[in-house]
Amino acid sequence: MNTPHTHPRSAEFNYVTNGSLIMGMIPENGAQFVFNEVGANQATLFPQGAIHFEYNEHCEPVTFVAFFRDSFPGVR
């Protein structure tokens, strides 16, 4: 599990190459909680400042790549 955190200086784009992850977020503006399962060859975007997490529910090998628009996204 990648515990809930935020990136104050960058959005985060996650692309799952194999396996699946449960991903959730609360947008910075307090909008409704978003929760979904992202499988192989699928992606999700966490807006800048959104509290988010990733969780390997099935405990099987998973590989994903995280992209940021800033080289120093920060973590809280």
Domain locations along the chain = 2-68
59 CB neighbour count, 10 Å cutoff: 6
Q: Provide the whole-model pTM.
A: 0.85
* Burial label, 50 (beta-carbon count in 10 A; 0-12, 13-18, 19+): buried
Supply the pLDDT for residue 38. 97
- For the segment(s) 2-68, the CATH number from 2.60.120.10, 3.90.1170.50, 3.40.50.720, 2.40.50.140 is 2.60.120.10
List average pLDDT for each run of 10 residues in the chain, which is 76 residues long. Answer: 92 96 88 93 94 94 92 80
Query: Tokens in use for 76?
Result: 């809280």
